[in-house]
Amino acid sequence: MDKIDRAILGEIQTNFPIDPEPYKVLADRLSLTEDEVCHRIRNLKSKRIIRRIGASFDSGRVGYVSTLIAMKVPETRIEEVGHLTNQYAGVTHNYLRPGDYNLWFTLITPSVERKDEILQEIKTKTGIDELMDLPSKQRFKIEVNLEV
């Protein structure tokens, strides 16, 4: 990543334009062409530096259910299972942690029933039954801006 990629990432994560032509606005802010901004974003996505670009919203306020999931995944299957869980639109974060339960992800769904369906699908597709569903008891909102 070069200085321009870092500038684009900084704008995307903290100041994404709410505009009919957001990439043109980004280009204008960064003194680039819209094509260059789009090309660089596609490149960052292909390198998996950017996973998704989308709005963040308070899921509970719009009737959605969110939970933290911990799975006990054999080391040799981490990449495979991580890729599978990332295929679900409701998975917003997916990361490794030390310990037996080593693959963690957040899941947001329109209902408890849909959450349960997805978790059952994941168990069936992976053959892994050791999964903990850890819904939050109290909500804390922390703004995270990654320094790029």
Please state the domain count of the chain.
2
Residue 142 lies in a domain: no
What confidence tens digit (pLDDT) does each residue in 33-47 have? 999 999 999 999 999
Look up the pTM and report it: 0.67
64 & 126 share domain: yes
Pair type for strands 103-109 and 131-134? unpaired
Whole-angstrom Cα Rg for the chain: 18
Residue 141 lies in a domain: no
Residue 101 lies in a domain: yes
| Tokens 């994404």, located at residue | 16
Residue 29 lies in a domain: yes
Q: How far apart are the first and last CA of the chain?
A: 9
127 & 99 share domain: yes
Q: What is the domain extent for residue 26?
A: 3-46
- Reduced to 3 states (helix: H, G, I; strand: E, B; else coil), residue 134 is strand
85 & 111 share domain: yes
What confidence tens digit (pLDDT) does each residue in 11-33 have? 998 889 999 999 999 999 999 99
